[in-house]
Amino acid sequence: MDDAGAFLIGESLRANTCIKKLDLYGNLIGDAGAITLADGLETNQHLEELDLNWNNIGFQGAAALANLLQVNSTLDYLNLRRNRIQDKGAVAIAGALLTNCSNKLRVLNLMDNGIGNVGAIMLARA
């Protein structure tokens, strides 16, 4: 699946009230796909686990997911392992975690994303 498939899933998530876990491991989802998934999840208050491990998500996708984390209160597991988030994406996610006190996120996997000291420090402060 690529960004077009992620777009369709993102659109369906707007109204879906049944899915609690979504595993999109190992696809070709890039920034555009992550943006549409995040947009769809802004109104979805049912999804608890999102696995985007081993995709091609960079800063723009990470920023969209950070925006989602600012408004979402049900997601408790987010796996972004093996993407291209780097420091800028990590800083955006850390900022979102700092601003949303009602966020229930308890597991965030950012392993193998090229995150350096700047991103790590911001995440530690979050």
- The helix-helix angle for 31-41 and 59-71 (nearest 10°) equals 10
Note the pLDDT tens digit of each residue in 57-70.
Answer: 999 999 999 999 99
The rounded distance, in Å, linking the Cα atoms of 89 and 114 is 10
Number of H helices, E strands in the chain: 5, 4
Put the strands of the sheet holding 107-109 in their side by side order: 21-23, 49-51, 77-79, 107-109
Q: Is the pTM of this model over 0.95?
A: yes
Q: For 9-39, how does the pLDDT look when each residue is reduced to its tens digit (9 = 90+)?
A: 999 999 999 999 999 999 999 999 999 999 9
Contact 26, 57 (CB under 8 A): no
